[in-house]
Chain A
Amino acid sequence: KAGVTQTPRYLIKTRGQQVTLSCSPISGHRSVSWYQQTPGQGLQFLFEYFSETQRNKGNFPGRFSGRQFSNSRSEMNVSTLELGDSALYLCASSSGGGAGELFFGEGSRLTVL
């Protein structure tokens, strides 16, 4: 079965712009989580959605937002981009029940100039 698909894989933006990243979970999975990975901070949890509701949120400013659609696909948006937002953004999906085994996509690599 198809894995987690993230688009775009690579993108370059300039400071002040905004960006939207997309994640299609594994078919049947209802939970989607987002993580930011940087060399300095490592992997950090952004937020998690289950059945279109945000269940958990990490410690990121309000410029980082997300949503989940009825088909479980999810998007995250970062507004007013800063240089420090350059990172690999990873999406993970799970069935949503019990202790989560997360299946990760290959990520979207964002470079902010």
Chain B
Amino acid sequence: AQKVTQAQTEISVVEKEDVTLDCVYETRDTTYYLFWYKQPPSGELVFLIRRNSFDEQNEISGRYSWNFQKSTSSFNFTITASQVVDSAVYFCALSGPGGGSNYKLTFGKGTLLTVNP
């Protein structure tokens, strides 16, 4: 069975601080996909990134960066120079190898990030 653990339930930072959200996953599949989603108060889940299990390159997109380490089954997300608009719940998710299983995401419990001015 697949499992995603986000150990940090809530994080509070002051604007311009860097913050890292942790994600640890478990799966028996050799091919799988990892995701990060952001959920603002409106409720809609906003896609941030998708990574497949064969691509361990770190990725940077503006102030966001992701560190995928297969050896430790972790897929951590860092926000550099945080802003108030980054305040949201962030979810890490895992899906299976292919076909319909791609769309069956297993989500972590989420981390509530509050960025204070």
Chain A residues in the interface with B (C-beta under 8 A)? 31, 33, 35, 42-45, 48, 50, 55-56, 58, 88, 90, 92, 94, 98-107, 109
Cβ–Cβ < 8 Å partners of B108 in chain A:
42
**Known contacts A42-B109, A42-B110, A99-B52; is A48 also within 8 Å of B43 by CB?**
no
- Cα distance A101–B48 in the bound complex, in angstroms: 10
CB distance from B15 to the nearest CB of A (A): 27
Cβ–Cβ < 8 Å partners of A35 in chain B:
105, 107
CB distance from B29 to the nearest CB of A (A): 12
Residue of B nearest to A45 (CB): B104
Cβ contact within 8 Å between B100 and A48:
yes
Chain B residues in the interface with A (C-beta under 8 A)? 33, 37, 42-47, 50, 52, 91, 93, 95, 98-110
**Known contacts A42-B109, A55-B100, A94-B103; is A107 also within 8 Å of B50 by CB?**
no
**Known contacts A42-B110, A55-B99, A99-B52; is A48 also within 8 Å of B47 by CB?**
no
Cβ contact within 8 Å between A48 and B104:
yes
Cβ contact within 8 Å between A50 and B100:
yes
Can you list 22 residue pairs at the A/B interface with Cβ under 8 Å? A42-B107, A42-B108, A42-B109, A43-B107, A45-B106, A55-B103, A56-B100, A56-B103, A56-B104, A92-B103, A99-B52, A99-B102, A100-B33, A100-B102, A100-B103, A101-B47, A102-B45, A104-B44, A105-B44, A106-B42, A106-B43, A107-B44
Cβ–Cβ < 8 Å partners of B93 in chain A:
43
Cβ–Cβ < 8 Å partners of A105 in chain B:
44
Count of CB-CB pairs between chains A and B under 8 Å: 68
Q: Which of B42, B46, B91 contacts A43 (CB 8 A)?
A: B91
Cβ contact within 8 Å between A101 and B50:
yes
User: What are the nearest 6 A-B pairs in CB distance?
Assistant: A55-B100, A104-B45, A43-B107, A56-B100, A100-B102, A48-B103
CB distance from A33 to the nearest CB of B (A): 5
Cβ contact within 8 Å between B44 and A106:
yes
Cβ–Cβ < 8 Å partners of B44 in chain A:
104-107
